[in-house]
Structure 1
Amino acid sequence: MHSGLHALRAGHVFDGGEVRGPGLVLVQDGVIRDVDFTGAAPPQHATVEDFGPDGWLLPGLVDAHVHLCWDAGPDAVAHVTSQASGTVLETARAAATSALHAGVTTVRDLGDRDYLAVTLRETVPETERPEIVASGPPITTRGGHCHFLGGEAEGAEALRAAVRERAERGCDVVKVMASGGNMTPGSSPLHQQYGLADLRLIVEEAHRLRLTTAAHVHAAQAVEDVIRAGFDTVEHFTFFSADGVSLREELLDEVVRRGVFVSLTVGTLPGSPVPPAVAARESALWDLAAKVIASGARVVPGTDAGIVPAKPHSVYPHALAELARAGMSNVQVLRSATAEAAEAVGRGGDKGVLRPGAHADLLVLGSSPVDDIAAVMDVRAVYRAGHRVR
């Protein structure tokens, strides 16, 4: 299918922005050549795949926050830290396959070990895995959140060197632990790890090297500093406090004003237990998510897939159902999961859209996700770089 012209036809198309009627997408050499809504017949020399009047053609989905090296087991930290590199690479490969079969054709990996997400991208053909936007090990303080992944750096010189190393290793994005987190003994999400000057330095160096930036952040003061430092995406955005969850409205207003992407952590297998720190604040976190969505902030879904059993690498469709429950219309959810998320991870225009010149990563559903967002689980086919993988 790579070299020949291939025509995909369905009764409905969502192009990353709008819902359209019956359409035809022409694919050749892994790229979309044309998208036609006129009802014209496909070119005579094209092979045709017709998904019928009930079928839906969409861009492949984009998950803004995954951890491919983490196995979604009962102790994912032990697995990613203690197993041999070859074993962890196999974990990442299986995780990538699982995501791809769920319709996720692009993932942003925000924390691996030994740059294994980059290795995976270099060693597995693109048609057998999602596009991988990689950060390498997250930059963190000594003994800080996820220090066991090998990204410890403190002080201006060490931080600049850390950013440069990621550029040299082929990373696309710099991930920084601006606050502590729940997965690391001795670390607290209430505590800030880097001050404003360090955060600014990291962003400046990353942008100079044409890398994007993502900040893990829970505590309110860390949220403020991350926004002021100019990070491209804010991960989690939870406003954890000793009392629970305390949204600072002026910071949400600033995020909206600046057009910063908020990668909300969504997507849990229904009925699965979540980490205690999250469970204790769950209803407050959903209230917060609803306020962030209602504000008009640029929200994209990031599952954090891999970190716990409730977040397997196939969990993304559940994330979309959760965004709908938090107040997004189904069409907004689809935009958020495609064109918006692609832009957030630095792949705007190439991914998340059905238009000439874009990459031929497509998802085919058997029923309408506009009528019921759960239709994203009704997967009929997945195409990656023009190649049918499911």
Structure 2
Amino acid sequence: MPAIRARRLFDGRELLGERVVHVEDGRIAAVADRGVADLDLGDVTLLPGLIDCHVHLVFDAGVDPVAGLAGATDEELLDRMRDAAAATLAAGVTTVRDLGDRNFLALRLARKLSVIEGPEILAAGPPITTTKGHCWFLGGEADGVDGVRAAVRERARRGAHVVKMMVTGGEMTPGTHSHLRQYGLAELRAAVEEAHAHGLPIAAHAHAGAGIADALAAGFDTIEHCSFLTEDSAEPDPAIIARLAASDVIVSVTAGMVPSDQPPPPGIARRIPGILQSLRALYAAGVPFVIGSDAGIGPIKPHGVLPHGPAMLVGLGYAPLDTLRAVTSQAARACRVADRKGSIMAGFDADLLAVEGDPLADVTALLRPVAVFRMGRRVR
């Protein structure tokens, strides 16, 4: 039975001292505070493998990911997605929630990928959107109550792990707008009801305050982005934030990017101060949160970018401990895999990440992986 020793262990909730983690048949068999180790990793912190709650493996992280998608066959896209999955795993991200692909390719990849080739993929398939709505080109157009119910049923039939719905428009699709709603409340409630009837969680892409409020009222399980965008800025709404804090919804904040000399598009640049204000306001109110990187949507969002997310939030005043929980145990809860991922304890999957030093003292330690294990097999 392989045994791994680390100077410190973050079990998904708290930072502990030296521990020896025993692994058997891809799962954690025991966690001991002493004993003989087959592998002594030295002065590192061992954490659960990170969980990215929002990625798009189908996008190539290029300057125009939509154009890169349009000219590719499904088989070509699958090859690219394999590379994206490998890069993600190498960064210490052992589980991802893919919230938008074309032709259910992420589901196909999830069924083909071996444990040493990439993270576990929890896939939504094409996001449900209005005709010519945000990301319509992925193939998820559905209108009206009956249309969105049928779309949810199709995803359940195909084996999706989660449903994704575009409550507001987005920045990647000409003709749609992040500050405007795409669906009425009746359609949103129908989608939620249908998803829950099939045992599926449902995630809302929502930027505008009105869209966030609708997603909350309709009963979505997670709200992605939650940025409170207006036409020219971003303005957090204290009343909506208070309702979020009092609810069971988990907000998936979009955080993590690689440094770049390229300025953001003007429409985003002028909204950045308000977006940062929204992130601070959500945290100050105690809204439960996880981190979704949105990996794949541009050059500053390469696959495997999630470890940059906690540092960004700590820079905004978030406690390092809360950001670590947001990419481990809290993320597992949001993704409905908290019975086997996101924590280091007996019976859980042996998805593990070892980083230099102490990430509570310096959260950028997540950017310095020493070892990565997927189902007990070392892949880095």
Shorter-normalised TM range: over 0.9
User: What percentage of residue pairs aligned between the two structures are identical?
Assistant: 46
Deviation of 1:280 (Å): 1.5
Aligned to 2:75: 86
Check whether the contact 1:306–1:312 (CA below 8 A) recurs between aligned residues.
yes
Count of residues in correspondence between the two structures: 379
Q: CA deviation at 1:10?
A: 0.8
Q: How many angstroms apart in 1 are the aligned matches of 2:211 and 2:337?
A: 27
Task: Give runs of aligned pairs for residues 361-372 of structure 1, distance below 5 A.
Answer: 361-372=351-362
Provide closer, same or farther for how the CA distance between residues 273 and 351 of structure 1 changes in structure 2, counting only shifts above 3 A.
farther
Query: Partners of 1:194 and 1:353 in 2: how far apart?
Result: 37
Match for residue 32 of structure 1?
A: 28
Pairing partner for 2:166 from 177, 195, 202: 177
Q: What residue number does 1:211 align with?
A: 200
Q: Indicate conservation of the 8 Å contact 2:232/2:271, yes or no.
A: no
Question: Who is 1:149 aligned against?
Answer: 138
Instruction: Indicate if the aligned counterparts of 1:178 and 1:194 stay in contact, CA closer than 8 A.
Output: yes
Instruction: Choose which of 367, 374, 388 in structure 1 pairs with 2:378.
Output: 388
Distance in 2 between residues matched to 1:280 and 1:10, nearest whole Å: 45
Q: CA shift at 1:81, angstroms?
A: 2.4
Letter paired with 1:326 = L
The answer to whether residue 339 in structure 2 is matched with residue 349 in structure 1 is yes
Shift in Å, 1:322: 0.4
Whether 1:193 and 2:189 are equivalent positions in the alignment is: no
| Aligned partner of 1:223 among 212, 226, 230 | 212
The alignment's TM-score, normalised by the length of structure 1, stands at 0.95
The answer as to 2:90 corresponding to 1:101 is yes
Aligned partner letter, 2:367: M
- Give the CA deviation at 1:251: 1.0
Aligned to 2:312: 322
Q: CA deviation at 1:243?
A: 4.3
- Structure-1 separation of matches of 2:342 and 2:181: 34
Q: Secondary structure at the match of 2:360?
A: coil
How far is 1:198 from its partner? Answer: 0.5
Change (3 A) 1:224 1:365: same
Instruction: Give the Cα separation in 1 of the matches to 2:251 and 2:50.
Output: 17
2:296 paired with 1:306? yes
SS of the counterpart of 1:24?
A: strand
- Equivalent in the alignment of 1:14: 10
- Residue 226 of structure 2 aligns to a residue whose secondary structure is strand
Answer with 315-324 or 142-151: which moved more.
315-324
Task: In structure 2, give the amino acid aligned to 1:32.
Answer: I
1:87-166 map, 5 Å: 87-166=76-155
CA distance in 1, matches of 2:224, 2:70: 23
Give the drift of 1:126. Answer: 2.4
Distance 1:306 1:290 in 2: 25
Quote the Cα distance in structure 2 between the aligned partners of 1:226 and 1:119: 29
Listed as ranges, the matches of 1:49-64 within 5 Å are 49-52=39-42, 54-64=43-53
Please tell me the residue identity of whatever aligns with 1:383.
F
Quote how far apart the aligned CAs of 1:82 are: 2.3
SS at match of 2:188: helix
1:297-346 deviations in Å (ceiling 9; x for gaps): 11111111001111000211111110111211111111111000111111
Q: Distance in 2 between matches of 1:190 and 1:330?
A: 31
Task: Indicate the SS of the match to 2:163.
Answer: strand
Q: Deviations over 1:128-186 (max 9, x none)?
A: 21011100000000000000000000122221111111111111100000000000011
Q: Contact 1:259 / 1:297 at 8 angstroms: preserved in 2?
A: no
1:127 is paired with a residue whose SS is coil
Given that residues 135 and 172 in structure 1 are in contact (C-alpha distance below 8 angstroms), is that contact kept between their aligned partners in structure 2?
yes
| Equivalent pair of 1:273/1:310 in contact (CA under 8 Å) | no
What is the alpha-carbon distance in structure 2 between the residues aligned to residue 260 and residue 193 of structure 1?
21
Q: Verify the 8 A CA contact 1:293 1:326 in the aligned structure 2.
A: no
Q: Give the distance between the partners of 1:61 and 1:228, measured in 2 at CA.
A: 30
**Alignment partner, residue 284 of structure 1:** 274
Matches for 1:251-290 after TM superposition, within 5 Å:
251-271=240-260, 272-290=262-280
- Per the alignment, residue 238 of structure 1 pairs with 227
Residue segments in structure 1 that go unaligned for 5+ positions in a row: none
For 2:232 and 2:172, locate their aligned partners in 1 and report how far apart those are by CA, in whole Å. Answer: 20
2:265 and 2:57 map into 1 onto residues whose CA distance is: 19
8 Å Cα contact 1:256-1:295 kept in structure 2: yes
Residues 90-99 or 274-283, more deviating: 274-283
- In 2, distance between residues paired with 1:243 and 1:366? 42
- 2:19 corresponding residue in structure 1: 23
Q: 1:242 to 1:89 in 2, by over 3 A?
A: same
